[in-house]
Amino acid sequence: MTRMSMHAGAKRADAAVIFAALGDETRLRIVARLCEEGPLSIMRLTSGAKVSRQAITKHLHALEEAGLARGSRAGRESVWELRANRLANVQKYLDQISRDWDAALGRLRTFVERDEG
């Protein structure tokens, strides 16, 4: 296995962990709120949610394991913030998939047009 393919495999594995974490609707909502509102306490994240504080905490820990969020103490409250660099890494991966897809469609178009002519 080449060094480049090992790097690509590691990037895919890293992206898969993030996609798995974002695959849950509640976690996706939490990420959206952290993007929109910045760091929030668990109390604020629970406000208006359809799940309990314990469930929010569980989802935050899943996001933390995926490297998407990090918590810190502010007095008696836990405040959670998004690790935007992790989302940026996934965006780069999605951009590469999009470029690869566009290139594949271009090759298909060339093949079809050559076959028709």
For residue 66, CA distances in Å to 6, 28, 34, 87 come to 20, 13, 15, 11
Q: What is the pLDDT of residues 75-87, one digit of tens each?
A: 888 999 999 888 8
Mean pLDDT taken over the chain = 88
Q: Is 32 in a helix, a strand, or coil?
A: helix
**Cβ count within 10 A of residue 21:** 21
Domain of 16?
A: 3-83
CATH of the domain at 69: 1.10.10.10
pLDDT of 117 reads 61
Residues ≥6 apart with Cβ < 8 Å to 69 = 30, 31, 34, 60, 63, 80, 81, 82, 83
Q: What is the pLDDT of residues 43-62, one digit of tens each?
A: 999 988 889 999 999 999 99
Q: How many domains does the chain have?
A: 1
Two structure tokens written together for 79: 């405040």
Query: Is residue 63 a part of any domain in this protein?
Result: yes
